[in-house]
């Protein structure tokens, strides 16, 4: 009898099913649908083998044709069921859940399947056998062929149409699965002796299992917990099907930099075991030292989180502490993208315990809108430079100005710098913003108009991020060369806090620029926590007192004495002083009497656009 390939296929499916059931796995919709497809394939193969045996017995040994016909019908009905499950497996993960046309397509596919199964059951079926050729025929079989072809082609069409929404590996696996099945059906139709459909379907299951549904791919080898990829799949699945969940996240912070590998691994393994011991909920290792557990019930999450914290507080042999992020209701976030943004943002929070709520989510959304605003402003050239002049006390003129970045909305409104600068620094967008500002300043200086009105130099802010790599000076040299800028026209301002973060790299890069005659000043002095050695050895010519420092001068006797003494010290070591934030004539006179070289503040001018600044210089100088 011609059942060798079906028996091999049955063995393959049985092996995959056992492996699938025994391995640790997540409860994902795709996995449930895959299991249905395996079961349909398993049942289909059994009835395929049984139908071949019974057809031979009926034709050659007088077995009941009625029973054989019933078995043949069940076989082709299961064959269509297998094709239907393949379509559902593909369409459920690809077709949108909230579109009317997609829901109509689902209903229509279910209706076609139901009607087709009834027709196959009602319509007559015939069968024959001669030599090794065994097959069934008739209206019932024709319906089965038609429906199987429809579902296979529909699955291939959906896969190709939505290929951009899936990884390349998934795309190829889906095409191979359905393509092999379709090819086998065509070959079997041409040569009925080659009963390939059952074997092809099982081979397709092997491809899906290895490429898409292999649970071991989602398991962290060190801890036995699920991986970050598994968490991503699980969260996307939950949001896609509108299922609420809660999450408890714990992060290990070692209290010393001298933690050896064995101690670190011990902490990781102990944490993993503690999480597994909490219950049957899936636990994940999402970073070297970060773990989480997902729950269907927030009360259970809070209970288990308290248990873990109590266990951690009892650990005394490992120099580490824990920080915890709890998300009671996943539907506070709009979807998986916002969920993971929230997770990555607040996992780095210094608080010991952070509990997600509407306020934190709204704050994150505002930050993300600001990121998009910055990106759009960079893309559509809505980044502008405003200039605030410095009054040179000795020369009684305005010969220096500070370049300040501004962003303009589409409607023309200016975004306050306090709204976008912190977000830009956190997101890394401060680097392209800084480069854009530098280029615009070079363009402005290249016009030569400001120099005609007595401007000698423009100060440009440099962030810590811009100097936190090996060759940040390249874009500075490139633009100065492009616009023929005299390096003496440029002064770069470094904040005290920024310089303290990466001093060695910053000084190395500063020296490259100083060699080309670019000068530096230390901005926001008085807001950091550096020591005297710090600014004495920084290669800067000017110290700028932060406006909060200068304001305190007029309200605090201690600050007054300290600032007066500091100006004297700075002058003795050859540095100039800029007083920021001067708003009244009285403040200006005090700073002038104290010997400050430059005064900056609203008393003279707020930051103003380029053309207004030129008018200011023309009028004042």
**pLDDT at residue 277, as a whole number:** 87
8 A C-beta contact, residue 463 and residue 498: yes
| Cα 357 to Cα 249, 295, 427, distances in angstroms | 15, 17, 22
C-alpha to C-alpha distance for 620 and 182, rounded to whole angstroms: 83
On average, the pLDDT of the chain sits at 86
**pLDDT at residue 28, as a whole number:** 87
Give Cβ neighbours of residue 35 (< 8 Å, ≥ 6 apart). Answer: 20
Q: Is the pLDDT at 528 greater than 70, yes or no? A: no
The arithmetic mean of pLDDT across residues 373-388, rounded, is: 95
DSSP string, 198-256: HHHHHHHHHHHHHHT--GGGGB-TTTS-B-HHHHHHHHHHHHHTT---EEEEEEEEESS
**pLDDT at residue 329, as a whole number:** 94
Tens-place pLDDT, residues 14-38: 988 888 888 777 888 888 888 998 9
**pLDDT at residue 501, as a whole number:** 56
Beta strands, E only, 243-394: 246-254, 283-287, 290-295, 320-327, 353-355, 383-392
Q: Is the pLDDT at 194 greater than 80, yes or no? A: no
Tens-place pLDDT, residues 405-435: 999 999 989 998 989 998 998 888 988 999 9
Q: Residue 66's pLDDT band (boundaries 50, 70, 90)?
A: very high
Q: Is the pLDDT at 381 greater than 90, yes or no? A: yes
CATH numbers and ranges of domains, the chain: 4-216 (1.20.1070.10), 219-356 (3.30.70.270), 386-620 (3.20.20.450)
C-alpha to C-alpha distance for 576 and 560, rounded to whole angstroms: 18
Tens-place pLDDT, residues 280-298: 999 999 888 899 999 999 9
Q: Is the pLDDT at 499 greater than 80, yes or no? A: no
C-alpha to C-alpha distance for 527 and 549, rounded to whole angstroms: 8
Q: Which of 62-71, 170-179, 518-527 has the lowest mean pLDDT?
A: 518-527
8 A C-beta contact, residue 367 and residue 424: no
Q: Residue 496's pLDDT band (boundaries 50, 70, 90)?
A: low
Put residue 120 in one of left, alpha, beta given phi > 0 → left and psi -120 to 50 → alpha. alpha
C-alpha to C-alpha distance for 291 and 231, rounded to whole angstroms: 11
**pLDDT at residue 1, as a whole number:** 47
- Which position has the higher pLDDT, 193 or 480? 480
Give Cβ neighbours of residue 616 (< 8 Å, ≥ 6 apart). Answer: 389, 398, 605, 608
Choose among 445, 497, 442: nearest CA to 467: 497
What is the DSSP secondary structure assignment for residue 516, as one 8-state letter? T
Q: Give the dihedral of Cα atoms 208, 210, 213, 217; nearest 10 deg.
A: -160
Q: Which residues of 157-178 are buried (b: 16+ CB within 10 A; e: fewer)?
A: ebbeebbeebeeebbbbbbebb
Identify the three-state secondary structure at position 61: helix
**pLDDT at residue 312, as a whole number:** 77
Query: Cα 104–81–147 angle (5° rounding)?
Result: 65
Q: Is the pLDDT at 200 greater than 50, yes or no? A: yes
pTM of the model: 0.70
The arithmetic mean of pLDDT across residues 273-285, rounded, is: 89
The arithmetic mean of pLDDT across residues 481-509, rounded, is: 79
**pLDDT at residue 464, as a whole number:** 66
The tokens for 264 are 């670190």
Q: Is the pLDDT at 115 greater than 70, yes or no? A: yes
Within 10 A of 593 (CB to CB), how many other CB atoms are there? Answer: 9
8 A C-beta contact, residue 385 and residue 437: yes
DSSP string, 579-612: E----SHHHHHHHHHHT-SEE-STTT---B-HHH
The arithmetic mean of pLDDT across residues 85-112, rounded, is: 85
Choose among 220, 323, 318: nearest CA to 263: 318
C-alpha to C-alpha distance for 582 and 389, rounded to whole angstroms: 12
The arithmetic mean of pLDDT across residues 38-63, rounded, is: 89
The arithmetic mean of pLDDT across residues 521-528, rounded, is: 72
Q: Is the pLDDT at 370 greater than 50, yes or no? A: yes
Q: Residue 322's pLDDT band (boundaries 50, 70, 90)?
A: confident
């Amino acid at each position: 009898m011609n059942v060798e390939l079906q028996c091999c296929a049955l063995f393959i499916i049985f092996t995959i099913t056992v492996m699938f059931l025994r391995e640790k796995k997540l409860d994902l919709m795709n996995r449930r649908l895959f299991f249905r497809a395996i079961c349909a394939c398993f049942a289909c193969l059994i009835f395929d083998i049984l139908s071949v045996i019974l057809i031979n017995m009926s034709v050659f040994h007088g077995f009941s044709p009625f029973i054989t016909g019933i078995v043949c019908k069940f076989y082709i009905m299961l064959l269509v069921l297998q094709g239907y499950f393949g379509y559902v497996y593909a369409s459920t993960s690809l077709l949108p859940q909230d579109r009317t046309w997609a829901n109509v397509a689902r209903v229509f596919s279910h209706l076609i399947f139901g009607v087709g199964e009834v027709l196959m059951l009602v319509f007559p079926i015939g069968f024959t056998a001669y030599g090794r050729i065994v097959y069934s025929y008739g209206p019932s079989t024709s319906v089965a062929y038609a429906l199987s072809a429809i579902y296979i082609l529909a699955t291939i069409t959906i896969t190709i149409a939505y290929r951009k929404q899936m990884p390349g590996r998934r795309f190829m696996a889906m095409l191979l699965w359905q393509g092999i099945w379709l090819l086998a059906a065509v070959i079997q139709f041409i040569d009925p002796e080659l009963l390939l459909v059952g074997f092809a379907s099982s081979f397709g299951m092997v491809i899906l299992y290895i490429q898409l549904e292999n649970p071991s791919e989602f398991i962290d080898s060190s801890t036995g917990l699920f991986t970050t990829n598994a968490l991503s799949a699980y969260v996307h699945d939950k949001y896609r099907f509108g299922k609420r969940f809660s999450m408890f996240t714990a992060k290990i912070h070692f209290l010393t930099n001298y933690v050896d590998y064995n101690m670190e691994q011990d902490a990781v393994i102990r944490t993993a075991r503690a999480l597994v011991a909490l219950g049957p909920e899936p636990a994940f290792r999402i970073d070297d030292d970060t773990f989480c557990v997902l729950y269907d019930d927030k009360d259970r999450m809070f209970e288990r989180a308290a248990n873990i914290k109590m266990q951690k507080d009892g650990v005394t042999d490992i120099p580490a502490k824990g920080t915890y992020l709890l998300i009671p209701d996943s539907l506070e976030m709009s979807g998986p993208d916002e969920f993971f943004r929230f997770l990555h943002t607040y996992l780095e929070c210094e608080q010991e315990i952070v509990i997600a709520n509407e306020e934190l989510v709204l704050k994150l959304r505002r930050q993300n809108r600001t990121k998009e605003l910055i990106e759009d402003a960079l893309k559509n050239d809505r980044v502008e430079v405003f200039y605030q002049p410095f009054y040179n006390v000795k020369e009684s003129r305005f010969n220096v100005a500070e370049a300040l970045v501004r962003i303009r909305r589409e409607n023309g409104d200016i975004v306050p710098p306090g709204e976008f600068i912190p977000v830009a620094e956190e997101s890394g967008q401060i680097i392209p913003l800084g480069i854009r500002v530098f280029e615009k300043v070079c363009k402005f200086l290249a016009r030569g108009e400001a120099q005609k009105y007595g401007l000698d130099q423009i100060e440009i802010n440099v962030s810590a991020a811009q100097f936190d790599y090996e060759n940040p000076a390249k874009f500075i040299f490139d633009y100065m060369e492009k616009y023929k800028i005299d390096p003496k026209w440029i002064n770069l301002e470094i904040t005290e806090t920024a310089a303290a973060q990466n001093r060695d790299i910053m000084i190395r890069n500063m020296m490259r620029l100083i060699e080309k005659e670019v000068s530096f000043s230390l901005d926001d002095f008085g807001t950091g926590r550096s020591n005297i050695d710090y600014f004495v050895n920084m290669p800067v010519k000017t110290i700028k007192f932060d406006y909060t420092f200068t304001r305190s001068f007029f309200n605090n006797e201690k600050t007054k004495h300290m600032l007066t003494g500091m100006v004297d010290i700075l002058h003795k070591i050859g540095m100039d002083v800029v007083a920021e934030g001067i708003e009244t004539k009285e403040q200006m006179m005090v700073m002038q009497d104290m010997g400050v070289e430059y005064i900056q503040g609203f008393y003279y001018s707020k930051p103003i656009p380029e053309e207004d600044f030129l008018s200011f210089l023309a009028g004042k100088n």
